[in-house]
Amino acid sequence: MSRVSPQIEESWKELLLEEFNKPYFSQLKQFLVEEKKRHIIYPPGPLIFNAFNQTPFDKVKVVILGQDPYHGPGQAHGLCFSVQDGVQPPPSLQNIFKEINSDLGTPVPQSGNLTRWAKQGVFLLNAILTVRARSPKSHQGKGWETFTDAVIRKISEEKSGVVFLLWGRDARNKTSLIDGSKHLVLEAPHPSPYSADYGFFGCRHFSKANNYLIQLGEEPIVW
C-alpha cells in the first residue's frame, strides 16, 4: 500500500491534501493495489509523482500536459514525454527536439531525459499518471484525470504568469481549467508523427514561452 501512497513533495502535499482525502482517490489507490497484483505498472511506484517531486509548486513556470505514461519497459519515469537515460527518445519527443532546434537553434540533445527541464520549473504533467505495461490508456477513467484536473485548476488559481503548453486535442480540452487572463496558454497539434506537420512544427512555443517569462522578469528556460 505504501508504494502508491502519495510520495510527494511537501508543498504539493499541502496544496492537494483535500484531493488525497476524497473518496475517488481512495478508490484509485485501491485500483492500483489490485492492478499491481496482476500486472506490471509503469512508472515504478516511487516515480508516480516524479513531476511533483522534481518541480515544487512555487517553482512552476511552465506546464506541459501529456496524456499517459509510456508503456514500454524502462521508459516512463513520471515526467510527460520524457524517457530515462539510455532509452531511445520516442517519436513525439524527437519531434519536440526538432521544433526546439528550428525555433531556438539549439542542438538536438542525445538524451530524452527531461529532468533538466523539470529542475528549471517545467512541470511535466501527464493527465493519467500510471499505465499497465504494453497497454496504452489502460488506466483511463480510474480517477487520475479528476486529480490532475484539480492540479491544473490549483496552479491556475494560486499562481500567475505560468505558461501552459497544450499539445493535441486531449490537452487542449483543459483550457477551461485555466484563467487565460493571468497566464499564457499556447495551443498546437500533438507532436506525434501523425499530427506534427499540421501545426506543431513551426508553433515556436519554446521561444514564445521564454519571451513571456523574460517580460515577467523570470529566467528563461534552457530548452
Q: Which residues are catalytic?
A: 68
Q: Return the C-alpha cell found at 44.
A: 515504478
Instruction: Report the distance separating Cα 188 and Cα 193, nearest Å.
Output: 14
Among candidate residues 188, 184, 177, the one with its CA nearest the CA of residue 152: 177
**164 DSSP β-pair partners:** 63, 185
Question: Using CA atoms, how far apart are residues 189 and 14, in angstroms rounded to an integer?
Answer: 34
Q: Which three cell numbers stand for residue 162?
A: 505560468
CA atoms within 13 A on the CB side of 60: 27
Taking Cα atoms as reference points, which of 8, 1, 12, 7 lies closest to residue 36?
Answer: 1
Distance CA 119, CA 59 (A): 9
* The three three-digit cell numbers of residue 179, written as one number: 484563467
